[in-house]
Structure 1
Amino acid sequence: MHKPNQFDLFASRRFLPLFVTQFFGAFNDNLFKNAFLVLITFYGLSAAGLDAKTLVNAAAGIFILPFFLFSALAGQLAEKYDKSRLAQWIKLLEIAIMLLAGLGFYQKNATILFCCLFLMGIHSTLFGPLKYSVLPQYLKEEELLGGNGLIEAGTFIAILVGQIAGTLIVQHQPHGETLIIYACVGVAVLGYFSSRAMPSAAPPAPDLKINWNVFGETWHIIRHVSHNRTVFHSLMGISWFWFFGSVYLTQLPDLSRNVLNGDPGVYTLLITLFSAGVGLGSALCEKLSGRRVELGLVPFGSIGMSVFGIDLYFALNAAPAAAHYDIWGFIADPSHWRVMLDVAAMGAFGGLFIVPLYALVQTRTEKAFVSRAIAANNILNSLFMVVAAGMSIALLKAGLTVPGLLLTVALMNIAVALYIYTLIPEFLMRFLVWIGVHTLYRVRCEGLDHIPEEGPCVLICNHVSFMDALVIAGMVRRPIRFVMDHRIFRVPVLNFIFRTAGAIPIAPARENASLKDQAFDRVAQYLEAGEVVCIFPEGAITRDGEIQAFRPGIEEIIRRTPVPVVPLALQGLWGSFFSRKDGAAMMKVPRRIWSKIGLVAGAPVPAANADRRVLEQQVRDLRGNWR
């Protein structure tokens, strides 16, 4: 039987037209921009008597300027109007811009082409909030991470192919300028027709009054999103990725030519490896996270970015400097394989870093503000990229080498990551849970859709090992507040995870009556706040592998706060290193690594029927004979 995966989305009208539309848009941006820059750099196209180097830097600034000026407006438009209709309007604008650019190419008029570059920046600014905020409307929540991964992968591939195509087409002299006109207009027309196939996406805030004061609205949306700390710091993380990536991509031409002694083909190879790496990492997110928004991938991605960024510095120092390489000579030299691996791996880990952050912004932002949150992201991205350019210029002028600059950014990435994880411990906690669970076990999940997407509920589960809470936390999408024995709560390393997750230590009344009362009070507070609480009603880890009689604590919880109860059953953990089979837990030689276990959920039980004996029998039935 076919197992659903993210690539099934390509067969769905909910996704394919959007993907194709955004692919053609990103492709055309870079097709036009690179063709224009090649004419400036290699064929003497000029404006205002400025030299080629100045014009190239001016072009980068002109393209990014609309992201500062119009992102706030773009976010408002995507909230107020049907996104499919808005996409069609934006694609019609693209056709008009490309027709004007055709006149500029035909007349070799740099002024017209600079105007078109600014207008294409507006085009990208308008489309950005739309493409990310429409995904939660088109896709189911379990499809969201995979959809984001495909969009991110498609964007980087489109950028890469557009850069290569723009260079090759305009170099086809003497007819390059004519061919590029047909190509740019043709791609814009294809993008318009694909946008017409996008399903309707109702506006989340149709009565929104547009604020035309772009600076006031920019400040408003950034201030609004900053109130949600998780979302705001996620946006900062995404912007840091663009800071990191822009430094590397900007330095690749100089690195290829002056450090690796390569021709333009070597530059094309390196940018292809980086872009393909981002695409691969983005596509892997769904596979690695089990179709959930897994925040544990974010630290994993940042660690990989720094590890391979640092290794690239040493690989560059070890590369030979005597010969001059074309692309095939570069690939054939084994001393360059490490460089190529580092560049591709940085891109792949970058994809693992950025895709969950986009999905987190989409799921943790209130629905009527998602487009404006994405607009705030675009503003911050642009700001970070400008700062990255300024820092690079200053450090290189101060005498730092290109490899030294790249090493500096890789080391900065470590400091930034530590700072972010200090602000949002949930990222680090999820990383430790993800690493721990997926290193030790292969988990088969069943029925987890019984756990409500929102609102309070209590999860109950059999208690087999010291890893039970981590397995459940790693597999269930919603944050869970665990009630656990105070001795397990104090286990080193696990204690950090439990405290970060808001776990509730509890003790029997004969040991600490006060702690028990405090635990029940905190459970009631969490449930009244609409959260998920999980308890192990047996009261202790099993010593014989069998489910023990449920204690009355679950009935007391439901009596104080009547909410649905979802029964869970863990399977296959009896006999593991963390269970009490054959001796004390964690005091014996591990017999199994990466063993197969199960987590099964049953239908919610209404509060009125939440009798502990009935619940115990349901958990027994769910577990079956697989201990």
Structure 2
Amino acid sequence: MKTPLFFQRRFLPMWTALSFGAFADNMLRQALMIGVAFGWIATQGLDRADDAIPIIGSVFAVSMLIFSSIAGQVAEKYETQRLFRVTKFAEVILMAIAALGFYFNNGWFLIGVLFAMAAQSAFFSPVRQGAMRKYLAADELVRGNGLCNAGLYTSIVLGLFLGGLVIPGENGRNMVGGLLFAASLVGFLAVLGAPKASPSAPDLRLDFNVLTQGVSMIARAFRARGVARPILGWSFFFYVSTLMTVLVPLYIKNSVNADETTATLVMGAFGIGAGLGGVAASLLARNRSALGYSTFGVAAASVLSLFAFLMTPFASSVAPQTASDFLGKPAGFAILVSFVLAASLMGLFVAPLQAAVQRRAPAHECARILAAGNMMNAAFALLGSLSVLLVTRTDADPRLALLACALMQGCVALYMWRRRARVPTGLYDEMLGSSAGHGEKARVPSGVEPC
């Protein structure tokens, strides 16, 4: 009997490293945000501790933007197994340093470590995404991305939950530091089992000019046949997910009049839903590009976002609500379910797009194109976070952002549907039969630009 993909050596070490790395990143960030906000972690020199929160919230994306252009070149030039080991060992060192920062209760030092961890993620990401192209066959990419996304989002939820739960407790800072170090060590030990894979461009000369290389990589991604649209869709996913992550506390507090436990519950529901969407994508993809599922996913998510917008007045209350009060109302329970389903459908939306980028990118510049995608994802995530300022600065009802989100999702779905109708081969742009070798580019009809 053939071993399932998940348990094979070409996948499980990579998945484990990704999942434990995401857990560590998000636990560090959440523990830092909660610790600073409630005074458990010191930030010297600020009149108000809350002033550090926007810095903590944006430092990860800024670091990704800075280092992704260099990271893409490195991932192209050097052997994959070696890069896995180096990047994950760097994570072990950084988490040990973070543990010291928690021990000495130095918030600014920990913010610096978070910036460095984002740089580590910038280098790990194109290695991992490029390895998918090298380790997996074309018809396995959607399944692989779905499984990776399921692990990623589950780890994010666990990291956020434990980061906020452990830091307030007795000896909480030291416990957070210990958990971070343990998670990074598991990730490093896992990649020791990853197979070797030859570099895509061993003769590439590294250019450390971040600005020119960043522009060059994004231009390269837009020149590559059939790559720009999936990258833009992928980045749209980051925009929506970041927008909702930042919006939820405001939505729960101001639109529903519920407490912080309700916000935590809804945030967890989003993460679980996105993970379920990744699992669904892995199960539904069978020798298909599965881009049709992307269209369905974003269209259905649009309907559910609109539904949540319409149901909000029926779930709100004049008196403050607890999580049990909120869920005790049919409208409140319906909103929670709609959020879980919408997140699942957005998870289903993004996995085929990730696979499409990995399939279509030319082999000799795949990692650099994926790094360009990471830069765009970070930029869209920043834009999603800043979009919430339209709510806070205008004192608008946060539920209006749900309506805006539904309209944007609907526009994307309409574009994908029209694109499918215009392209002769529809969204089935690649022949994903079992004959395709690991990372082998499948045939596309001449003169047809894939979706």
TM-score, reference length from structure 2 = 0.91
Residue 220 of structure 2 is matched in structure 1 by 224
Which structure dedicates a bigger proportion of its chain to strand? 1
Q: Is 2:240 aligned against 1:244? A: yes
Query: Counterparts in 2 of 1:464-543, with a 5 A limit?
Result: 479=444
- Give 4+ residue runs of structure 1 displaced > 4 Å after superposition: 419-429, 447-455, 477-481
Which structure dedicates a bigger proportion of its chain to helix? 2
Q: Is 2:163 aligned against 1:163? A: no
Q: CA RMSD in A?
A: 2.8
Going from structure 1 to structure 2, the CA distance change for 1:224 and 1:251 (only over 3 Å counts) comes to same
- Aligned partner (choices 208, 213, 222) of residue 204 of structure 2: 208
Q: 1:325 and 1:115 mapped to 2: Cα distance?
A: 38
SS in 2 for 1:230: coil
Query: Partner amino acid for 1:140?
Result: A
Going from structure 1 to structure 2, the CA distance change for 1:287 and 1:184 (only over 3 Å counts) comes to closer
Going from structure 1 to structure 2, the CA distance change for 1:451 and 1:109 (only over 3 Å counts) comes to closer
- Paired residues of 1:157 and 1:275 also in contact (CA < 8 A): yes
Q: Is 2:121 aligned against 1:93? A: no
Q: CA deviation at 1:211?
A: 0.8
Residue 117 of structure 1 is matched in structure 2 by 114
Per-residue Cα deviation, 1:92-121 (whole angstroms, up to 9, x for no partner): 211221222122111111121111011011
Where in structure 1 are there 5+ consecutive unaligned residues?
Answer: 435-446, 456-476, 482-499, 503-530, 532-627
- Paired residues of 2:20 and 2:187 also in contact (CA < 8 A): yes
Q: 2:391 and 2:424 mapped to 1: Cα distance?
A: 32
Q: Is 2:46 aligned against 1:49? A: yes
- Aligned partner (choices 305, 309, 312) of residue 301 of structure 2: 305
- Paired residues of 1:247 and 1:406 also in contact (CA < 8 A): no
Q: CA deviation at 1:75?
A: 0.7
- Paired residues of 2:134 and 2:438 also in contact (CA < 8 A): no
Q: CA deviation at 1:370?
A: 1.3
Please identify, of 411-420 and 61-70, the stretch whose mean Cα deviation from structure 2 is larger: 411-420
TM-score, reference length from structure 1 = 0.67
Query: Partner amino acid for 1:46?
Result: T
SS in 2 for 1:113: helix
SS in 1 for 2:44: coil
- Aligned partner (choices 184, 207, 226) of residue 180 of structure 2: 184
Query: Partner amino acid for 2:363?
Result: K
Q: CA deviation at 1:424?
A: 7.1
Query: Partner amino acid for 1:75?
Result: G
Q: CA deviation at 1:419?
A: 4.4
Going from structure 1 to structure 2, the CA distance change for 1:125 and 1:106 (only over 3 Å counts) comes to same
Q: CA deviation at 1:454?
A: 12
Q: Is 2:74 aligned against 1:104? A: no
Residue 75 of structure 1 is matched in structure 2 by 72
Query: Counterparts in 2 of 1:175-574, with a 5 A limit?
Result: 175-419=171-415, 430=426, 449=434, 479=444
Q: 2:433 and 2:225 mapped to 1: Cα distance?
A: 28
Per-residue Cα deviation, 1:173-195 (whole angstroms, up to 9, x for no partner): 2x111111111111111111111
- Paired residues of 2:222 and 2:228 also in contact (CA < 8 A): yes
Going from structure 1 to structure 2, the CA distance change for 1:286 and 1:130 (only over 3 Å counts) comes to same
Q: CA deviation at 1:428?
A: 10
- Paired residues of 1:26 and 1:155 also in contact (CA < 8 A): yes
Q: 1:333 and 1:261 mapped to 2: Cα distance?
A: 13
Q: 2:420 and 2:44 mapped to 1: Cα distance?
A: 48
Q: 1:159 and 1:273 mapped to 2: Cα distance?
A: 12
Q: Is 2:8 aligned against 1:9? A: no
SS in 2 for 1:223: helix
Query: Partner amino acid for 1:374?
Result: L
Q: 1:364 and 1:320 mapped to 2: Cα distance?
A: 47
SS in 2 for 1:208: coil
Residue 508 of structure 1 is matched in structure 2 by none
Please identify, of 41-50 and 365-374, the stretch whose mean Cα deviation from structure 2 is larger: 41-50
Going from structure 1 to structure 2, the CA distance change for 1:191 and 1:240 (only over 3 Å counts) comes to same
Going from structure 1 to structure 2, the CA distance change for 1:123 and 1:376 (only over 3 Å counts) comes to same
- Paired residues of 1:233 and 1:420 also in contact (CA < 8 A): no
Residue 21 of structure 1 is matched in structure 2 by 17
Q: 1:164 and 1:93 mapped to 2: Cα distance?
A: 25
SS in 2 for 1:430: coil
Larger radius of gyration: 1
Per-residue Cα deviation, 1:457-490 (whole angstroms, up to 9, x for no partner): xxxxxxxxxxxxxxxxxxxx85568xxxxxxxxx
Residue 146 of structure 2 is matched in structure 1 by 149
Q: CA deviation at 1:371?
A: 0.9
- Aligned partner (choices 50, 59, 64) of residue 61 of structure 2: 64
Q: 2:290 and 2:63 mapped to 1: Cα distance?
A: 33
Per-residue Cα deviation, 1:143-195 (whole angstroms, up to 9, x for no partner): 2111110001111111110000111111212x111111111111111111111
Going from structure 1 to structure 2, the CA distance change for 1:178 and 1:399 (only over 3 Å counts) comes to closer
Query: Partner amino acid for 1:275?
Result: G
Per-residue Cα deviation, 1:413-455 (whole angstroms, up to 9, x for no partner): 2234444665676689736x89xxxxxxxxxxxx965799999
Residue 26 of structure 2 is matched in structure 1 by 30
Q: Give the number of the structure with larger relative contact order, counting CA–CA contacts within 8 Å between residues 6 or more apart.
A: 2
Please identify, of 122-131 and 419-428, the stretch whose mean Cα deviation from structure 2 is larger: 419-428
Per-residue Cα deviation, 1:47-86 (whole angstroms, up to 9, x for no partner): 3214233211111121211111110111111111112211
SS in 2 for 1:198: coil
Q: 2:61 and 2:145 mapped to 1: Cα distance?
A: 23
Q: 1:448 and 1:416 mapped to 2: Cα distance?
A: 29
- Paired residues of 1:170 and 1:180 also in contact (CA < 8 A): yes
Percent identical pairs in the alignment equals 28
SS in 2 for 1:183: helix
Query: Partner amino acid for 2:223?
Result: H
SS in 1 for 2:194: coil
Q: 2:259 and 2:169 mapped to 1: Cα distance?
A: 19
Where in structure 2 are there 5+ consecutive unaligned residues?
Answer: none
Aligned length: 446
- Paired residues of 1:145 and 1:291 also in contact (CA < 8 A): no
Please identify, of 17-26 and 384-393, the stretch whose mean Cα deviation from structure 2 is larger: 384-393
Going from structure 1 to structure 2, the CA distance change for 1:188 and 1:147 (only over 3 Å counts) comes to same
Q: CA deviation at 1:260?
A: 2.6
Q: 1:272 and 1:454 mapped to 2: Cα distance?
A: 35
Residue 131 of structure 2 is matched in structure 1 by 134
